Structure 1
Amino acid sequence: MLEAKLAETGMLKKLLDSIKELVTDANFECNEEGINLQAMDNSHVALVAVHLQAAGFKRFRCDRPMPLGVNLGSLTKVLKCAKDDDECTLKAADEADVLNLVYEAKNSDRIAEYDMKLMDIDSDTLGIPDTEYEAEVSMPSAEFARIVRDLSALGESVRIEVSKEGVRFASEGESANGSILLKKDGEVGRVKTAKEKKAEKARANGEEPEEDDEEEEEENEDGEKPKKVKKEKVKKEKGDEDVEMEDEEKDEEAFKANSDDEDEKSEPSDDEESGKKRKKKTNGSSKPAKKAKTTKSKGKGKKDDEEKTVFDFSMNSHVSLTFSLKYLVNFAKSTSMTNKVELRLSNDVPLLVDYDFGQGYVRYYLAPKIGDE
């Protein structure tokens, strides 16, 4: 049995509006982790991957994995019967042929209930490989939507080029050509590895110690070389030496906070006889609390920076690819989901357009044009 309750129906409306023109019929794969959708357009040029995590629902229950074959156009019509701030509950019994939707108004006693017929859709879930991209671009989603909309008036294709100069979007049409260059202030960084990205997310969520333990276990399983790197890092932090890498600075601060705690605990054990030194012990015990507050404030600052959504990009090598503007304009409809979009590119690899919002993500994969096509 499936029972998933959303705090607001508006989120589901925006999600379907952004993908319904690319995909007509699709299976919502439901399991204990959440609800997933993966489908390709009719021309098999673009792929859409949607994930709604279980934690993003007000209430979520899925006893066993089950597919819900849905016509997205019909589901959109049913969702239009609800207000954006209505609570929406999706219900489906095991092997059911009907999806039940219940809308509960927050400011009144109104409860609306609808049943929508499900479909049997034969679709294979594609295994999307973890790709190490050569270039990554982070920008405001509204800016991306404006660029592709403006260039679509000139031509059918856009060339996206990432170099040290910046990120260039260029289109050539029969009557006019257009080019938009986005520059970055400061040096261009490199694309981070998957492990580094996981560590960054852990620090942003304030879960650094747990993630560090996991990283140590993963590194120990990989081989001896990562062990040496980890040991050298700890030695530098114990000696209070300067660390040049930006990603290691936060690890050093966390380690120093822990080492201060140990020093303060060891001091009272040697000086328990004198009353003055006992006062130092009480003063020392208050210091870690202050440091904990400062680390929390740093975490809030990071979230505020993410909400501002400033243009940024990193690259390992020069990338230049051509894509169909018709599809990019469709992808840009997900702008209503979040104010940030990430583009990931590698030569001869499909473009990844990633919209990551609070309750999950919408990811689009688009194959590049080859030659004069």
Structure 2
Amino acid sequence: MKCHRYIFMMMKLESMSKLLKCAGKNDIITIKADGGSDTVTFMFESSTQDKIADFELKLKLMGIVSVHICIPVPEYHSIVRMPSGEFSRICKDLGSIGDTVVISVMTKERVRFSTESDIGTASIALRQNTNVDKPEDAIVIEMNEPVSLSFGLRYMNLFTKATPLSETVTIRLSSELPVMVEYKVAPMGYIRYYLARKMEEKEDTKP
């Protein structure tokens, strides 16, 4: 199934979560919506195709909008693609030391993840590596401008819950935009998380 135009749906997460719990472990989920309707249909089909369940979720209170628009792709200063499992381990390990991760791309050859707190510091550096047997094991760094940005580890660790869905993760960084953490779910599409960087609580005002 394809969507030939952008359709924006606003649903209550609580209601959507209840519906998704009705799906079996190996079910195929199809979401259908019409721009002129006030409902969205969730179809759960078993892997053996011997059971199909349809659920309709009303959107009267939240609304549905069908428009023809073009969403511009922002330009990021640095992009890092790496194994999703490695990114998950890094976030988990740094979370045992601090609550903020600093992601730094100062050269095209290396990305650094670091944290510090009252109990100590930790730093993990990865070098670009494309000489691998499997493409999903590669570490690819693209740098247009150097960046060093801070983010809440609590949220990064929540993002890594998508690790089982994709073997790779792409981290797009810009000092002017929220970080984009993307997991490609081939061949269906992708999951993208956005997180604003943490600002310094105190700025040095000394002359």
TM-score category (smaller protein): 0.7 to 0.9
Distance in 2 (alpha carbons) for counterparts of 1:108 and 1:368: 45
Match of 1:182 among 126, 129, 149: 126
Counterparts in 2 of 1:110 and 1:340: CA distance versus 1, 3 Å = same
Does the C-alpha gap of structure 1 residues 68 and 162 become closer, same or farther in structure 2, counting only changes over 3 Å?
closer
**Partners of 2:22 and 2:183 in 1: CA distance:** 26
User: Are the counterparts in 2 of residues 71 and 119 from structure 1 also a CA contact under 8 Å?
Assistant: no
Q: 1:104 to 1:131 in 2, by over 3 A?
A: closer
Q: Is the 8 A contact 2:129 2:139 kept in 1?
A: no
Give the whole-Å Cα distance in 2 for the aligned partners of 1:143 and 1:128: 31
Question: For 2:61, what is the secondary structure of its paired residue?
Answer: coil
- Larger of the two Rg values belongs to structure: 1
Two-structure CA RMSD over aligned residues (Å)? 3.2
Kindly indicate whether residue 73 of structure 2 is the aligned counterpart of residue 101 of structure 1. Answer: no
Distance 1:309 1:32, change over 3 A: same
State the structure with bigger RCO (CA 8 A, min sep 6), 1 or 2.
Answer: 1
The letter for the 2-side match of 1:330 is: L
Runs of 5+ unmatched residues, structure 2: 203-207
Alignment equivalent of 1:81, drawn from 3, 22, 28: 22
Structure 1 residues 134, 68: CA separation in 2 closer, same or farther (over 3 Å shift)?
closer
Which amino acid is 2:12 matched to? N
- In structure 2, relative to structure 1, the CA distance for the partners of 1:348 and 1:68 (3 Å cut) is closer
- In the TM superposition, 1:132-281 aligns within 5 A as 132-164=75-107, 166-184=110-128
In 2: Cα distance, 1:185 partner to 1:110 partner: 46
3-state SS of paired residue (1:70): coil
Match of 1:310 among 119, 132, 138: 138
Match 1:362 to one of 182, 191, 203: 191
Which residue in 1 is equivalent to 2:167? 339
How far the C-alpha of 1:140 sits from its partner, in A, is: 0.5
Shift in CA distance, 132/154, structure 1 to aligned 2, threshold 3 Å = same
Q: Which has the higher strand share?
A: 2
CA distance in 1, matches of 2:88, 2:192: 15
| Residues 333 and 87 of structure 1, relative CA distance in 2, 3 Å threshold | closer
**Residue 120 in 1 paired to residue 61 in 2?**
yes
Residue by residue over 1:302-337, the C-alpha shift from the partner in whole angstroms, topping out at 9 and shown as x without a partner, is: xx843x331121323332111111221122222122
Identity %: 37
Q: Paired residue for 2:205?
A: none
TM-score, scaled to structure 1: 0.46
Q: Deviations over 1:258-303 (max 9, x none)?
A: xxxxxxxxxxxxxxxxxxxxxxxxxxxxxxxxxxxxxxxxxxxxxx
Structure 1 unpaired stretches of 5+:
6-30, 37-64, 187-303
